[in-house]
Structure 1
């Protein structure tokens, strides 16, 4: 009689080996039905997968291994041998990544005596919750106006949902600029974005008036995806507050001040010199120039010679030859002759509100000489020198020459 079974190569016994003799179950962060309800795991936290293998055959399994596309390569650890009618556990531990990761898992074990391989499959996985908030900002400073003071700065905050779940009640603030709560305008809501869908952005703006200087804007954003996740041991983890920040340095410059108009003083460099022969400026309150007579020797000036004689005793005679009394025959209010000094204007000759006649040109010129400065005198001397005729110039040159010749002749004698 032959033996029903024999000891073959290896430690496994032949017999009772076939399909269905290896069974597999998988739990992910403590959840056994991950194929139907994959647990939500926060991105970056631990995912723990436990693969339970049951060998119901009558042969030991060698080179036991688990193939799981949802686990990083080399992360699954298994014992080398699974004895007959026993069970073992393989484990994998790795960080969660964003997205849904549910895949078929395959477990294998070899029976060398029978040159066969037992297999088992199951589906398992997790969903990586990628709650992520991004924030950038841009500052635009208005050009300062004249008159001093500061300028307005407009800060635009760009809030972005970089995760895969909607974000709720996203608040924007700026402690660096000391903005009041709710100061940024987020589409009609004071400093708050109600719901921000995945892969979308929202804009908030704030305008502040600042004095000249250097400033730092420190934008801050906060929100939540309101997702409760599972920890490595199956514990429930509440949603954290998601935050993001940014910083920008900008400068508010001093506003330019408009220069005040300057009028150069008479005789100073850059002041306009009077042009010879040009009409004088009009006297205030009149339409006529202060001096209508051109300077002697000026182009277009009329030569004028005042000649004549006169005598007077201060008294006169009437029609009968009798001496007239002082003031006799004068109109009422008239000033008798001799009562007014020469060159003065009698008070009665000027009607109320009228402008007294201009003084003679000689007096005006003498007054101007007294008031002119050093540069004015130099210009006047130059103009007077130009007024000398050719004959006068030759005369001034020949007289010294004649004197010198006379002296030289007397020395030779």
Structure 2
């Protein structure tokens, strides 16, 4: 009895073993056999609490794959939409049963929230199954940046009073700082080493010398007024601020917020002195000439020379009848005290027409400044006057030459001079007028000749 019981206990497990083995094999390769965890720059649970990474810094994602099944996984691959294509590298493509495998992705961070669901897959060819696992992962890209521009307005320098040195001018420099990052910036200050301005020396409005908070995409303006000597100067603006955000490095180290800076420059020139308008320049009055009487000027005693006319230096005094011969007779009503030739001491006084001989119009001011009325046309000379030359005076040929050289030339000579200076268009107009006049004459001849012939023929018939 005891022997049969012992045999039964030994046989029953052997009978049940073939039915139990297939179930154990299949259960070792179930859907829960593959698991994946992801760390971003050493921080786990990045799907719930994504770490902050500075834009441009390196992001390191580590994918830890665990196969708790009893079958090998072949063709293992990891897909992460938040990672550039081809950035995930695995140590192998096979994940052994009850084994582990690590895949790594390295790339540069970009700005903003970067969350994604990573997926890992592997195949079991003997069972024709594909196992998969997912994990939520991500990071936050912190983009901090400043942009600075400036504009200079130059004011003209004023007068330096009694100082003999150059007057200094003033320039107003307007700085515009912009936050082109995705996080607010704090305590933004602007300085200018080129103009000797320390950080915070500019006027930024209500915040004094600094911008307390500058929101993403916002701009602020700060101004500074400087005084400099005349010349060319260079402004080199520098803006600095911080977003006060701690980020994580590739190995999981904490990195403090850096100081963000931006630079700009501008060149401006200050003039030496403000220019004075011409109307504001004082004009000193011109002193009047003192009256004096020339011995042979031909004026009345005690009358200033030049009150009746202006003499021609070096001219020969012409007697009373010679003014008409030379063709320099003055206008009617000229003052009787016209001056003769300067320096001709003892020469006889010129008559009333000698003012025209000097070439000056009757309306001459007392100060010697001539008034310019239209010049009167002088009368043509008479033959008797041209021949009345006293002994010791100019010869008739000289008088005629002087007459020819003056503006009182004969009409034929003036007409010849005009024709010589006539242009091409003037000649065409003159020829056209002459042609029109000749045409009228020809037409009259053509009308009169046939009429005369007809009258002659009629007379012959009647006779």
Q: What is the rounded CA distance, in whole Å, between the counterparts of 2:87 and 2:43 in structure 1?
A: 19
Determine if the alignment matches structure 1 residue 70 to structure 2 residue 63. no
Q: Compare 49-58 and 290-299 and name the one that shifted more.
A: 290-299
Determine if the alignment matches structure 1 residue 155 to structure 2 residue 173. yes
Displacement of 1:403 in angstroms is 11
Q: What is the rounded CA distance, in whole Å, between the counterparts of 1:77 and 1:403 in structure 2?
A: 125
Displacement of 1:15 in angstroms is 5.8
For residue 206 of structure 2, the aligned residue among 188, 197, 204 is 188
SS of 2:46's equivalent in the other structure is: coil
Displacement of 1:4 in angstroms is 7.0
SS of 1:118's equivalent in the other structure is: strand
Contact 1:76 1:91 in 2 (8 A): yes
In structure 1, the partner of 2:448 is none
Q: What is the rounded CA distance, in whole Å, between the counterparts of 2:358 and 2:104 in structure 1?
A: 118
Partner deviation per Cα, 1:354-402 (whole Å, 9 max, x = no partner):
xxxxxxx9xxx99xx79xxxxxxxxxxx848459x97776422798799
- Give the 3 Å change call, closer, same or farther, for CA 179–135 of structure 1 in structure 2: same
Determine if the alignment matches structure 1 residue 396 to structure 2 residue 389. yes
Determine if the alignment matches structure 1 residue 214 to structure 2 residue 232. yes
- Give the 3 Å change call, closer, same or farther, for CA 144–109 of structure 1 in structure 2: same
In structure 1, the partner of 2:106 is 93
| Residue-pair matches, total | 307
In structure 1, the partner of 2:259 is 241
Determine if the alignment matches structure 1 residue 197 to structure 2 residue 244. no
- TM-score with structure 1 setting the length: 0.64
Equivalences for residues 374-393 of structure 1 within 5 A: 383=355, 385-386=357-358
Q: What is the rounded CA distance, in whole Å, between the counterparts of 1:163 and 1:41 in structure 2?
A: 14
Determine if the alignment matches structure 1 residue 53 to structure 2 residue 71. no
Greater strand proportion: 1
Displacement of 1:211 in angstroms is 2.5
Greater helix proportion: 2
In structure 2, the partner of 1:41 is 53
Q: What is the rounded CA distance, in whole Å, between the counterparts of 1:236 and 1:119 in structure 2?
A: 34
Q: What is the rounded CA distance, in whole Å, between the counterparts of 2:213 and 2:168 in structure 1?
A: 37
SS of 1:20's equivalent in the other structure is: helix
Q: What is the rounded CA distance, in whole Å, between the counterparts of 1:253 and 1:266 in structure 2?
A: 37
Unaligned runs of 5+ in 2: 1-14, 161-165, 290-302, 310-329, 344-353, 360-380, 398-463
Displacement of 1:191 in angstroms is 2.6
In structure 2, the partner of 1:21 is 33
Q: Compare 226-235 and 389-398 and name the one that shifted more.
A: 389-398
- TM-score with structure 2 setting the length: 0.57
- Give the 3 Å change call, closer, same or farther, for CA 386–225 of structure 1 in structure 2: closer
- Give the 3 Å change call, closer, same or farther, for CA 101–299 of structure 1 in structure 2: same
Displacement of 1:102 in angstroms is 1.5
Unaligned runs of 5+ in 1: 8-12, 272-289, 305-360, 371-381, 405-413
Displacement of 1:252 in angstroms is 2.2
Q: What is the rounded CA distance, in whole Å, between the counterparts of 1:293 and 1:85 in structure 2?
A: 133
Q: What is the rounded CA distance, in whole Å, between the counterparts of 2:37 and 2:150 in structure 1?
A: 50
Q: What is the rounded CA distance, in whole Å, between the counterparts of 2:396 and 2:116 in structure 1?
A: 133
In structure 1, the partner of 2:121 is 108
CA root-mean-square deviation: 4.1
Contact 2:389 2:396 in 1 (8 A): no
Displacement of 1:186 in angstroms is 0.6
Partner deviation per Cα, 1:144-188 (whole Å, 9 max, x = no partner):
568973533221111111111111100001111112553311113
In structure 2, the partner of 1:139 is 152
- Give the 3 Å change call, closer, same or farther, for CA 395–35 of structure 1 in structure 2: same
Displacement of 1:80 in angstroms is 0.8
